[in-house]
A and B are shown apart, each in its own frame.
Chain A
Amino acid sequence: MAILEVENLKTWFHTRDGVVKAVDGISFDLAPGKILGIVGESGSGKSVTVHSLMGLVPQPPGRIEDGSAHFDGSDLIRCAPRELRAIRGKRIAMIFQDPMTSLNPYLRISEQLIEPLLIHGLAEREQALKKAIAMLEKVGIRDAAERIHSYPHEFSGGMRQRVMIAMALITDPEMLIADEPTTALDVTVQAQILRLLKELQADLGVSVIFITHDLGVIAELADRVVVMYRGHIVEQGDVLSIFDHPQHPYTKGLLACRPRLESTFKVLPTVSDYLDEMEVGGQVELSEKPDAAAHIESLQQVADSEIDENDLLLEVRGLQVHFSERAGFFFGPKGLVKAVDGISFTVPRGSTLGLVGESGCGKTTTGRAILNLVAPTEGSVQFDGQEIAGFDAAAMLPLRKRMQIIFQDPYSSLNPRLTIEQALTEPMSVHGIGRHHAERRDRAAALLDEVGLDARFLRRYPHEFSGGQRQRICVARALSLEPEFILCDEAVSAMDVSVQAQVLNLLKELQLRRNLTYIFISHDLSVVKFMADTMAVMEGGRIIEQGNAEEIYANPSEAYTRRLIDAIPRDSVSFIRERVG
């Protein structure tokens, strides 16, 4: 007997550009005490599915056209708002993707934690507060009795997600919906949160729907898996069979495109290597490419270019960046934050240095200091034999052309009011590349082509593109000045694994074609392993381990590095077989 039975659910959005069938006739069950993973890329309809169950779809433009969702005698789709409110937050609780924005910044943690108990009349204030403190301790927040009176901004991202979990589970719900709860977190924090969820699930016996774009997370956690693509379920089954014998080409692609520690791919397979989409009479038909297996085989044959270890493009010696912490208006510096505390490394021309560590370890500041976007306090940065540390804006200008940067968030790093043409030609006109605008526009078109986008996109605005397309545009913008060096600061961290694979392949391809040198900053070691030749692990502003990337993965000498490697979700079939027993 399932705790939740969803049948033929259809949620469509009626927009100005026509009907978007976000969820189009899906059915699945959730067994009591089990974890169901729903996996798919952005726009596949997985979030809309659970929002439909919870009555959280904005209507209009959304409308639930058809279907039912039976939960203990009630149809969540058809029941009255009052009835649904009595279930929501009490018997079915939910946690969301972004812990930074999902807690109310104006209310104390305590207020928000006890709210579900008060709303549903489960406890009096005093008693609720006691329960909330106990719950906070349970999700691993120390000094809960004191910290419960803090505001959300005083907590880190991982701690806020713990608070969200405590808030969801405080009413002892029968069912928990987790909508990408770890996507916005570092790999190490993700591992902690996943472990916590697993423990609590086993402890409380709650049934869970877990939504993610990452099959690795599913492998760690789920009992059953639903794979969604374009509003449909393309495949569902128990976790072992999905990983062991994926049937649908989309599932195969999704499994293959994760960079793995143990794989030696030089080019990552992508979903489109497996999946053929053909439009037949207005319907999209999905089929497997006939030559997929052979193609994947050939990807492994691609060879790396030769790197001359002595031809250094970048040499950093004893770099320090200190920030002073101000106490107030009257008083001088209170303390010194040593964001980067004396680090040294070299990057040979045409190679990639991976810079890894958790949030706050100083890796981003290091990158910015190299580009003089923040002023280094101490130390030397030599670029192509020239000392550039502490250069001011004017002195850096000629170098900006040669040193470019790609940021994490492609949504906020493109000006929404500039067309793609303007975004791509602006750096060229600043640096006097191209004689007139027509020439620069032609170059921009060629750049779009090089990053795999249509030249007709030049006249569009950023909001018309998906996240992956935008990051390609950011790559094109960085390339527009024909740099020798590109700093990729968490350039793929905000992306779905399937899109991530495409962008990583693009960056690699460009490196080979143009002999580019990268510093690749990431918290995800599997991504760095794929990209980097050498690697440096940072903790607390210092490099604690550096050297050949392959060797560090094989034999990490520091416990911290070990921890980062262990945090990567394991998704081997043998691991899953062992886990599900």
Chain B
Amino acid sequence: MWKLIAFRLLKAIPVLLIVATLTFFMLRLTKGGPFDQEKPIQDEAIRKQLLAHYGMDKPLSSQYLDFIKNLVQGDLGPSFKHQGRQVNEVIAEAFPRSAELGLWSLAVAMALGLAAGLIASLKKNSFLDYCPMALAMIGICVPTFVMGPLLILSFSLELEWFNASGWNSLKDRILPALTLGGAYAAYIARLTRGGMLEVLSQDYIRTAHAKGASPARVILHHGLRGGLLPVVAFLGPAAAGLLAGSFVVETIFQIPGLGRHFVEAAFNRDYTMVTGTVLFFATLIILFNLIVDVVQIWLNPRLRST
């Protein structure tokens, strides 16, 4: 097991290097740079000074080498847009907010999704199956930028239970978490239902019944482990995406999180910020996939021998 983890972490290094290199050059290939805005800097001397300050007057190859050199030391460089601030600082400041929102959303997604999926699988082809599954389908189809404003409209503006935006009290977490988590809950519900139905039709479930186990014991002790494997596989990338922040939800609810930096940096051609957030996101994905693999091996003994 430790060998597997060590090996996977080692393998992550070349992956991250490739991601960094691709992002670096793709950004340079896109039209426009960090200093080309609606009002371009007219003064040639200031422009030159700016370029020199950020090392952009050097040839591309040495820029790349500098970038990699800093990267290896964990330094993502200065932001082009947020003047006087380092990309590391910006991420360190924004990530905890996104992560918190992500965790709440994940909790909502798991609670709603697992419950709905379990009930649906146990009451197959009944009202308790069709109803949550129809809701889940709606949850998948309705995008967050529709769901968010709808929730604000009904719960903030009409009922006045919550603030329409902001990130101050614990109450402010509820609507964004519902918006973001709802969509994931729908996927989890469908995966749970499918996984459980698959497992409950297996021969060893019949064996458990034949032993005289109670229905609850059959489901919890014999069914759940195998039934949740597809959910676990989905949770890895999903958790990484949730923690890294959602541009849409953070914008709707005015949360100063990482998701907004991600998108704004791309618009602004904030080279260092884009590479920084991309690398950060890639690291999260790699980490969570590793966690998922470890959990799967723990859940499924058949994977342990290989």
Q: Report whether A98 and B211 are in contact in the complex, using a CB–CB cutoff of 8 Å.
A: no
Bitwise, B288-306 to A at CB < 8 A (1) or not (0) is 0000000000011110010
Q: How far is the CA of A90 from the CA of B300 in the complex (A)?
A: 29
**Interface pairs (23), CB distance under 8 Å:** A56-B206, A85-B214, A86-B212, A88-B210, A88-B211, A89-B211, A93-B210, A93-B211, A96-B207, A96-B210, A101-B202, A102-B206, A103-B207, A104-B207, A104-B208, A106-B225, A106-B299, A106-B301, A107-B222, A119-B213, A120-B212, A151-B302, A329-B3
CB of A59, distance to nearest CB on chain B (Å): 13
Contacts of B202 in A (CB 8 A): 101
Q: Is B194 an interface residue (CB 8 A)?
A: no
Bitwise, B197-240 to A at CB < 8 A (1) or not (0) is 00000111011111111100100011001100000000000000
Contacts of A93 in B (CB 8 A): 210-211
Bitwise, B90-103 to A at CB < 8 A (1) or not (0) is 00000000000000
Q: Report whether A90 and B212 are in contact in the complex, using a CB–CB cutoff of 8 Å.
A: yes
Given A107-B225, A164-B207, 19 new contacts (CB under 8 A): A56-B209, A88-B211, A94-B210, A96-B206, A101-B202, A103-B207, A104-B204, A104-B207, A104-B208, A105-B301, A115-B208, A115-B213, A116-B212, A119-B214, A119-B217, A120-B212, A151-B301, A153-B301, A328-B3
Q: Is B7 an interface residue (CB 8 A)?
A: yes
Contacts of A90 in B (CB 8 A): 212
Contacts of B221 in A (CB 8 A): 107
Contacts of A120 in B (CB 8 A): 212
* A contact patch SS: loop
CB of A265, distance to nearest CB on chain B (Å): 36
Interface size class of B (residues with CB under 8 A): 20 to 34
Bitwise, A246-274 to B at CB < 8 A (1) or not (0) is 00000000000000000000000000000
Q: Report whether B210 and A54 are in contact in the complex, using a CB–CB cutoff of 8 Å.
A: yes
Contacts of B213 in A (CB 8 A): 85, 89, 115, 119
Contacts of A108 in B (CB 8 A): 301
Contacts of A330 in B (CB 8 A): 7
Contacts of A88 in B (CB 8 A): 209-212
Q: How far is the CA of A55 from the CA of B209 in the complex (A)?
A: 9
CB of B163, distance to nearest CB on chain A (Å): 45
Q: How far is the CA of A309 from the CA of B206 in the complex (A)?
A: 53
Residues on A close to B: CB < 8 A? 54-56, 85-90, 93-94, 96, 98, 101-108, 115-116, 119-120, 151, 153-154, 164, 167, 328-330
Q: Report whether B212 and A106 are in contact in the complex, using a CB–CB cutoff of 8 Å.
A: no
Q: Report whether A329 and B203 are in contact in the complex, using a CB–CB cutoff of 8 Å.
A: no
CB of B229, distance to nearest CB on chain A (Å): 9
Q: How far is the CA of A323 from the CA of B13 in the complex (A)?
A: 33
- Using CB atoms, name the residue of chain B closest to A94: B210
A104-B222 CB under 8 A given contacts A56-B206, A151-B301 = yes
Which of A86, A87, A105 lies in contact with B226, CB distance below 8 A? Answer: A105
Contacts of A329 in B (CB 8 A): 3, 7
Q: Report whether B204 and A103 are in contact in the complex, using a CB–CB cutoff of 8 Å.
A: yes
Q: How far is the CA of A266 from the CA of B216 in the complex (A)?
A: 56
Residues on B close to A: CB < 8 A? 3, 7, 202-204, 206-214, 217, 221-222, 225-226, 299-302, 305
Q: Report whether A106 and B210 are in contact in the complex, using a CB–CB cutoff of 8 Å.
A: no
Q: How far is the CA of A85 from the CA of B305 in the complex (A)?
A: 36
- Using CB atoms, name the residue of chain B closest to A88: B212
Contacts of A105 in B (CB 8 A): 204, 226, 300-302
Q: How far is the CA of A108 from the CA of B300 in the complex (A)?
A: 11
Q: Report whether A89 and B210 are in contact in the complex, using a CB–CB cutoff of 8 Å.
A: yes
Contacts of A116 in B (CB 8 A): 211-212
Q: How far is the CA of A127 from the CA of B136 in the complex (A)?
A: 47
Contacts of B301 in A (CB 8 A): 105-106, 108, 151, 153
Q: Report whether A101 and B7 are in contact in the complex, using a CB–CB cutoff of 8 Å.
A: no
A119-B203 CB under 8 A given contacts A106-B301, A153-B302, A330-B7 = no
Contacts of B206 in A (CB 8 A): 56, 96, 102
Contacts of A85 in B (CB 8 A): 212-214
Q: How far is the CA of A119 from the CA of B215 in the complex (A)?
A: 12
Q: Report whether B212 and A119 are in contact in the complex, using a CB–CB cutoff of 8 Å.
A: yes
CB of A107, distance to nearest CB on chain B (Å): 8
Q: How far is the CA of A105 from the CA of B208 in the complex (A)?
A: 12
Contacts of A96 in B (CB 8 A): 203, 206-207, 210
CB of B87, distance to nearest CB on chain A (Å): 34
Which of B203, B217, B300 lies in contact with A98, CB distance below 8 A? Answer: B203
Contacts of B299 in A (CB 8 A): 106
A102-B203 CB under 8 A given contacts A85-B214, A88-B210, A115-B211 = yes
Identify the interface centre among B203, B221, B305: most chain A CB within 10 Å of its CB.
B203
- Using CB atoms, name the residue of chain A closest to B303: A153
- Can you list the 4 inter-chain pairs with the closest CB atoms, starting with the nearest? A89-B212, A89-B211, A101-B203, A151-B301
CB of A54, distance to nearest CB on chain B (Å): 6
Q: How far is the CA of A424 from the CA of B268 in the complex (A)?
A: 61
Q: Report whether B204 and A102 are in contact in the complex, using a CB–CB cutoff of 8 Å.
A: yes
Contacts of B212 in A (CB 8 A): 85-90, 116, 119-120
Contacts of A56 in B (CB 8 A): 206, 209-210
Contacts of A103 in B (CB 8 A): 204, 207
Contacts of A167 in B (CB 8 A): 211
Q: How far is the CA of A163 from the CA of B299 in the complex (A)?
A: 22
- Using CB atoms, name the residue of chain A closest to B302: A153
Contacts of A115 in B (CB 8 A): 208, 211, 213
CB of B100, distance to nearest CB on chain A (Å): 34
Q: How far is the CA of A407 from the CA of B217 in the complex (A)?
A: 39
CB of A294, distance to nearest CB on chain B (Å): 45
